[in-house]
Amino acid sequence: MKVAVFSTKAYDRQFLSAANSPIQHELVFFEPRLNRDTAILAAEFPAVCVFVHDQVDAQTLEILASGGTRLVVLRCAGFNNVDLQAAADLGITVVRVPAYSPYGVAEHAVGLILSLNRKIHRAYNRVREGNFSLDGLLGFNLHERTVGIVGTGKIGLILGQIMKGFGCHLLAYDVYRNPELEALGGKYVELPELFANSDIISLHCPLTLETHHLINTEAIEKIKPGVMLINTSRGALIDTQAVIEGLKSGKIGYLGVDVYEQESELFFEDLSGEIIQDDIFQRLTTFPNVLITGHQAFFTAEALYNIAETTFANITDIEQGRPCANEIRA
């Protein structure tokens, strides 16, 4: 199948080309993101392959459909950037990669926890400048601390396993209980109880209407003072302005995020020579107890290989008329 691949970086081309080698789909790589202005590039392509910040809205889908596209292939798990109803109305099939190396995301969350707690990122810069003072670098033992995990699917479960290894107590919240987490000793509670009793809160749930701004002013009022808040899931789970107020008041003691609700204008690009116009994001970077990474939690060799492999399995299933387990519908 002829596939237009949008939002491609060098690493995308490397892993996608390698995985496609034995299959021989016809891939054409485009660096721009897919949106209503760039959709014309996919004219006469039966399929497009897109990533998290591509805008697959109704107008974009109409342009794709008019050019002959009948398949949208997401090389990611999230699909909130796709208008599924419009796709269905236009006869366009949508598939995704529901899971890819959940260990990478969970391990990155742990990396944020450790770095924030022991001030590793600050210590690194100090030592490079010849400053070996320990003032301001005081941390705490993770042993016997309580970790609240919001969302206990594959990634949340793996985080629980790792934190259990540190000797932490586990609280959990999910609409579906995971018996494997309960077997670790994890206790399912309602969100107010999790907020009130967790020393560390880590978010691992999808972005839905119900979870949008899950961490807001009301939630911050309920959390344990000095809590560490970690988000490696979706940026809009957090009301950033409310979190800034929580940081200023000291109610939030630490913030580690790999995602940001307005990240589409920032992440995956080199903006080091530009003036960033997002004042809220810039305010976040001024706090010494905030650590931000640019949506790299997924970025392991294993994950990129799994993404590419599943992406082409999805394409082949659709091309050959087989049911695809990873199809998503309105």
Q: What is the pLDDT of residues 71-86, one digit of tens each?
A: 999 999 889 899 999 9
Pick the catalytic residue from 234, 245, 274, 283: 234
Question: Residue 316 carries which DSSP code?
Answer: H
pLDDT at residue 253, as a whole number? 98
pLDDT at residue 137, as a whole number? 97
Q: Is pLDDT above 90 for 215?
A: yes
Do 101 and 75 meet the contact criterion of CB atoms below 8 Å apart? no
Dihedral (Cα; 25, 27, 33, 34), 10-degree rounding: -50
pLDDT at residue 99, as a whole number? 82
Do 214 and 238 meet the contact criterion of CB atoms below 8 Å apart? yes
Which residue bears the tokens 């995602």? Answer: 259
Look up 33 and say whether it is catalytic.
no
pLDDT at residue 101, as a whole number? 82
pLDDT at residue 233, as a whole number? 95
What are the tens digits of pLDDT across the range 84-127? 999 999 999 999 999 888 999 999 999 999 999 999 999 999 99
Could you tell me the pLDDT band of residue 27, with boundaries at 50, 70 and 90? very high
What are the tens digits of pLDDT across the range 127-157? 999 999 999 999 999 999 999 999 999 999 9
Report d(CA 59, CA 227) in Å as an integer. Answer: 43
Q: Which amino acid is at 226?
A: G
What is the β-pairing status of strands 290-292 and 146-150?
unpaired
Provide the mean pLDDT of the chain: 96
Per-residue CA distances from 318 to 12, 71, 308, 327 (Å) = 22, 8, 16, 9
Could you tell me the pLDDT band of residue 231, with boundaries at 50, 70 and 90? very high
Do 70 and 48 meet the contact criterion of CB atoms below 8 Å apart? no
Look up 322 and say whether it is catalytic.
no
Pick the catalytic residue from 75, 204, 295, 309: 295
Pick the catalytic residue from 25, 53, 261, 263: 263
Report d(CA 57, CA 49) in Å as an integer. Answer: 14
Do 163 and 186 meet the contact criterion of CB atoms below 8 Å apart? no
What are the tens digits of pLDDT across the range 165-213? 999 999 999 999 999 999 999 999 999 999 999 999 999 998 999 999 9
Could you tell me the pLDDT band of residue 239, with boundaries at 50, 70 and 90? very high
Which DSSP helix (H) or strand (E) runs through 291? strand 290-292
Do 83 and 58 meet the contact criterion of CB atoms below 8 Å apart? yes
Look up 263 and say whether it is catalytic.
yes
pLDDT at residue 185, as a whole number? 96
Task: Quote the percentage of the chain above a pLDDT of 90.
Answer: 96
- Please choose, from the candidates 100, 99, 95, the residue with its C-alpha nearest in 3D space to the C-alpha of residue 49: 95
Could you tell me the pLDDT band of residue 258, with boundaries at 50, 70 and 90? very high
